[in-house]
Amino acid sequence: MSYYSLGLILKVKGMVTQQVPPPTNSNDRRTDAGQLQSGKNLVNRYVIQEVIGVGGMGSVYRARDLHFPNVVKLVAIKEMINQAPDPLVRQTIVQNFEREANILATLSHPSIPRIYDYFTLDNRSYLVLEFINGRDLEVFLSQTEGFLGEEHVLDWAIQLCDVLVFLHNHKPDPIVFRDMKPSNVMVNQYNHIVLVDFGIAKPFQTGQRGTMIGTEGYSPPEQYRGEANVQADVYALGATLHHLLTRRDPRLEPPFSFAERPIRKINPGVSVEMEAAINTALQYNVEDRFKSVEEFKQALIAAGQKTGLLNRIPSRVASPNQAQGIKPVWAFQCEDEVRGTPLVYNGMVYAGCYDNNLYAVNAASGAFQWKYASEGGIVSRPAVADEMLFFGSEDKRVHAISARQGKLAWLYYTEGPIRSSGRIADGHLFIGSDDHLLHAININTGRKAWLFDTGDEIRSTPFLINEMVYFGTEGGEVLCLDFRGTVKWRFKAKRAITSSPWVQDNVVYVSSMDGFLYALDAKSGWMLWRFRMEKPSIVSSCVADMLVFTGSADGHIYAVDSRNSKEIWRFKTNHQVNGSPVIYKDALYIGSIDNFLYCLEYRTGRLRWKFETKGPITGTPTVYDDIVYVGSTDHFIYALLA
């Protein structure tokens, strides 16, 4: 059997992964055990290839979807054979199976299998699901000699926390998984985890009781009493991690006896910090555990940071060919493209979207907090001051809203769409508009302080320093104004300046659609040097350690010596670079139209990792407290470990 041949996607209760004897009855396309034979065609669409899992109530098959005749699209088909003699029992079984289908249909997460179809034939019901090429953790344990590396378990633990946090934040009701254990966790070829078997997952409502359901050894005490809230999943995850680190199956031990077999006594290679986090999750009394999976996750991350294990997680040190294994800390889905740059402020991430909304999500978990609706797409990054957010929209307005609740304080009207991001200084917001004006707005009253007419659209974000405002126009000008709106100098490039200037050490660095990166004297506007790229650029540069970093439609990321315009290095992506770079510690982060976010060592241009989204990345990443936040035109906002 090959390394990834156990492609089990969902398992009915008690199912085990194993090789299944070949079919014996070729006439009715069923085996002696009642399983569907290879070649069986279900509903004239799904051709069975092989059995990949068996259980007490049915099998799981790998099949080919014939609706895609030009490619081999594999699916997993979960079968439920309903042979209960009692009609009420049969009805209950069908309802539970349908509940699993309905739950999966409402969920969209990288670590949850997608559901494609659901149908019933005679006394058999079928779920058609995403096929996962990998092994479950129980099989992983059985095929591994010795203890698993703590960094591997930490990686899986953080990923499992992510998907449980997603379930627990499900609207309108949280979903409690109720059956976390190694056999319900798949690991695919990219080291991504996929949580499987939602057969007993259930929306949770406070005060609701039910029957005991779950798996002995992994389930917490309250679940035996028919009670299960989100902290039941905390306990079961702790039990799963204990099993992975010690190789001691809790189903073979007395219930609730984890304290009698400490992790480090069995496996001394586990860190004290990791053991402490798992022990807290495994407390008998609910009130002694972590209050949420998010708290558990933060404890695991803190343990990884303190021990250095976080930097040894295989997916974080992957080679470029393995870099697709990098998993987000979380991913939040909007309703349209996210083209702008997120803002992180007071534990929240704020990001505009082309569905006309500004979203506020929790920076730690990605949990939705609120959204504010404008009447146009939002590409600008919010500016913040005194618990207020200020941003422009293509509805031609500047919106001032509260950061806590998203309530409107005032509106300011311009005569054109606003694609510039505002900057704040001395109690004023400076922002450009397609109405050709740079607007200076009092942030307390929302009233105009002054206007400056450039004659061309302003999509460049102003840079404010030393009581001066530097910005570009679509007519190709770079302008310097003082805070009263008086022009100090103008510089004319050959084509549009959509990028935002960067000013450092009395030098203005700005890219142009004419294909040049310019260095201008900040006091006079005289050109100091220019660096030629192979194609136009709308990338806003940044500067660190005498290096200027920019990108171009030629697909390259450039590092240029700020003193003499000498090229230090260039890095080739697979498409235009329209996103702008940001420097954090010793790394550069930048997105590309090729759908990737790149992390490069900024001194050498060496690729550390790249993360693939499903759409071009046009905004600038934001890095805060070792987390990279970035939006993509695939409708998602992502949080990644820096």
**Which tens digits make up the pLDDT trace of 411-445?**
999 999 999 999 999 999 999 999 999 999 999 99
Buried b / exposed e over 31-40, threshold 16 CB at 10 Å, is beeebbbbeb
**pLDDT confidence of residue 87:** 80
For residue range 466-519, list pLDDT tens digits in order: 999 999 999 999 999 999 999 999 999 999 999 999 999 999 999 999 999 999
- Distance (Å, rounded) from C-alpha 501 to C-alpha 508? 6
Model confidence at 81, pLDDT cuts 50, 70, 90, reads confident
- The pLDDT confidence band at residue 6, using thresholds 50, 70 and 90, is very low
Name all domains of the chain by residue range, CATH numbers in brackets: 1-132 (3.30.200.20), 136-325 (1.10.510.10), 330-641 (2.130.10.10)
0.85 exceeded by the pTM? no
Band (pLDDT 50/70/90 cuts) for residue 156 is: very high
Burial of 164-188, coded b for 16+ CB within 10 Å and e otherwise, reads: bbbbbbbeeebbbbbbbbbbbbbbb
Summarised one tens digit per residue, pLDDT across range 213-259 is 668 899 999 888 877 788 999 999 999 999 999 999 999 999 899 99
* DSSP helix/strand/coil, 78: strand
Q: Average pLDDT for residues 335-349, to the nearest whole number?
A: 94
Give SS3 for 567: strand
C-alpha gyration radius of the chain: 28
For 543-561, write each residue's pLDDT tens digit: 998 999 999 999 999 999 9
For 504-513, give one letter per residue: b (16+ CB within 10 A) or e. Answer: beebbbbbbb
Do residues 530 and 558 make contact, with C-beta atoms less than 8 angstroms apart? no
**Which residues face 478 on adjacent strands?**
472, 491
Of the candidates 325, 358, 355, the residue with the CA atom closest to the CA atom of residue 341: 358
d(CA 47, CA 44): 8
Question: Which pLDDT tens digit goes with each residue over 585-608?
Answer: 889 999 999 999 999 988 888 888
pLDDT at 542 over 60: yes
Bin 387: left if φ > 0, else alpha if -120 < ψ < 50, else beta: left
The total of other beta-carbon atoms located within 10 Å of residue 452's CB is 20
Question: Around 215, how many Cα atoms within 13 Å sit in the side-chain half-sphere?
Answer: 28
Could you read off the pLDDT of 276-314 as tens digits, one per residue?
999 999 999 999 999 999 999 989 988 988 888 876 665
d(CA 642, CA 632): 17
- Is residue 90 within a helix (H) or strand (E), and if so which, with residue range? helix 87-105
| Rounded CA separation 626/330 (Å) | 14
Amino acid 52: pLDDT:
85
Q: Supply the pLDDT for residue 123.
A: 80
What's the chain's average pLDDT? 86
How confident is the model at residue 18, as a pLDDT? 33
For residue 316, pLDDT beyond 60? no
Dihedral sign (CA 255, 256, 259, 263): positive
**Which amino acid does the sequence have at 196?**
V
Question: Quick one: average pLDDT of 446-462?
Answer: 96
